[in-house]
Amino acid sequence: MTDLSANSAPATRHGASLLKQNARTRRRNRAEARFRAYGIAAIAVGLAMLLVLVFNIVSKGVGAYSQTFVTLEVELSESKLDKKGNRDIEEIKKVSTFGYAPLINNAFAAAVKEGGLETRLKPKDQAGILSKSAPAQLRDYVIANPDKIGETVSFRFLANSRVDGYLKGRVTRDSIANDKSISAEQLDFVDQLAAAGILKKTFNPDFVLGSDASDQRPESAGIGVSMVGSLFMMLVVLALSLPIGVAASIYLEEFAPKNWITDIIEVNISNLAAVPSIVFGILGLAVFINYMHLPMSAPLVGGLVLTLMTLPTIIISTRASLKAVPPSIRDAALGVGASKMQAVFHHVLPLAAPGILTGTIIGLAQALGETAPLLLIGMVGFIASNPPDSLAAGLLSPNSAMPAQIYEWAKRADPAFYERAWGGIIILLVFLVTMNTLAVILRRRFERRW
């Protein structure tokens, strides 16, 4: 390079021209081309993996959003449900879900007769293609509408997971050869019902809105209630970690003297950000449940634990965005007579806000997908609660969270749960992508560069 200044025509001196490359230049250019190719290859590999992942998730999970339903006319016979005929709700409640099964058997017998279907199955085996949730659905309806007893009402029942799998191609006549819960005759019957229009596969809103179900009825399991659980946890995380995180970082960045104490605090915050999340779970169990006696499996505790996990992320990103505000702004504010606090709150903080919001949203997204700390505070398991009816219930009554629910489904025996786990992942990913996009948009629109 020094040749350039020493000689006005270095190319000629080396016997090369700008038009003709010498060997060394060619080598350098080739190296650069190779490097670019590596970079493109790396991006391609990354993109390919993402595509494979998304393709896998969508193809495996999309099945969870449609479900097989059977529409039946059920006679709510008075002799079974309200023997005395006085419509006393307490007496109607005494008939357990097991008492409703015969009604469904009768409904099948009637449907077969009416539709002129030919099957050798007994009504009990015909009803075997229905979900175990069907009697519970009937009972709920009767308790809510006791005046309908004695009438014939049309119901849309879920078919059980094997039948649903048959319509989705997961279950075949070969694969059920050793299966005790369904027979080939029942599948024939399913074909007949489908031809008669009684049995249909349609979109299933209950997967998005409903609650978890036991191992025997994967078809009625939904992710809705755990979504609400996640929402309440995020509320707690936001309400606690944003003010604490911002206050801590403003103090550390703008007011705190630089001495060994603040140094230690700084190092510890960075350390906390690297602590595995399960550690916060153990801490939550020890402090919030065993010491402070907060209820187990409650989103409040989950939110507190995740707050601890999110705080360092928020503090670090907040401090970074405070640091990015040029000192001249502070100096100008102080110069016209503003107090230090006025300088911070009127000038520095508004300029740092987009960065703080971005960091908070990314911290929340991280917390939303966290499962490990929830294991220890009882939020992973069979938690089939109804959607909470108040803020306090939402915070304190037991609930799960989306990633915990997905983990729980992936462990269960029935393959139908596996499909639901993938379906749940789709929803979780939609949430995460939305949050991250929001963070990007906020940064693009409001961030100022100096």
Interacting residues with other proteins (CB under 8 A): 96-98, 132, 136, 139-140, 171, 175-181, 213-217, 236, 240, 244, 248, 265, 268-269, 272, 287-290, 292-297, 300, 304, 307-308, 311-312, 315, 378, 380-385, 392, 395-398, 410-415
Strands (E), 87-226: 152-158, 199-203
Q: C-beta of 25: minimal distance to other proteins in Å?
A: 52
Q: C-beta of 5: minimal distance to other proteins in Å?
A: 56
Q: Which is nearer to other proteins, 109 or 287 (CB)?
A: 287
Which of 194, 187, 157 shows the shortest CA–CA distance to 171? Answer: 187
Q: C-beta of 247: minimal distance to other proteins in Å?
A: 8
Q: How many Å apart are CA 288 and CA 294, to the nearest integer? A: 6
Q: C-beta of 37: minimal distance to other proteins in Å?
A: 34
Longest dimension (CA), the chain: 115
Sign of CA dihedral 363, 365, 368, 370: negative
Q: Which is nearer to other proteins, 37 or 292 (CB)?
A: 292
202 within 8 A of 188, measured Cβ to Cβ: no
Q: Which is nearer to other proteins, 298 or 343 (CB)?
A: 298
Q: Which is nearer to other proteins, 150 or 415 (CB)?
A: 415
Q: Which is nearer to other proteins, 176 or 428 (CB)?
A: 176
Q: C-beta of 179: minimal distance to other proteins in Å?
A: 5
Q: Which is nearer to other proteins, 72 or 300 (CB)?
A: 300
Question: What single DSSP character describes residue 95?
Answer: S
Q: How many Å apart are CA 86 and CA 146, to the nearest integer? A: 10
Q: Which is nearer to other proteins, 139 or 420 (CB)?
A: 139
Partners of 201 in beta bridges: 68
Tell me the CA distances in angstroms from 374 to 74, 222, 366, one per residue in order.
43, 19, 14
Q: C-beta of 386: minimal distance to other proteins in Å?
A: 8
Could you identify the residue written with the tokens 């037991």?
398
261 within 8 A of 251, measured Cβ to Cβ: no
Strands (E), 89-233: 152-158, 199-203
Q: C-beta of 103: minimal distance to other proteins in Å?
A: 16
Q: How many Å apart are CA 169 and CA 324, to the nearest integer? A: 56
Q: Which is nearer to other proteins, 180 or 449 (CB)?
A: 180
Sign of CA dihedral 119, 122, 123, 128: negative
142 within 8 A of 81, measured Cβ to Cβ: yes
Q: C-beta of 421: minimal distance to other proteins in Å?
A: 10
Q: How many Å apart are CA 102 and CA 214, to the nearest integer? A: 22
CA atoms within 13 A on the CB side of 247: 6
Q: Which is nearer to other proteins, 181 or 437 (CB)?
A: 181
Question: What single DSSP character describes residue 295?
Answer: P
Q: How many Å apart are CA 142 and CA 139, to the nearest integer? A: 5
Which of 267, 274, 216, 232 shows the shortest CA–CA distance to 413? Answer: 216
Q: C-beta of 246: minimal distance to other proteins in Å?
A: 12
Q: C-beta of 177: minimal distance to other proteins in Å?
A: 7
Q: C-beta of 142: minimal distance to other proteins in Å?
A: 12
Q: Which is nearer to other proteins, 155 or 431 (CB)?
A: 155
Q: Which is nearer to other proteins, 304 or 364 (CB)?
A: 304
Helix boundaries (H) for 196-298: 205-209, 224-250, 260-274, 277-284
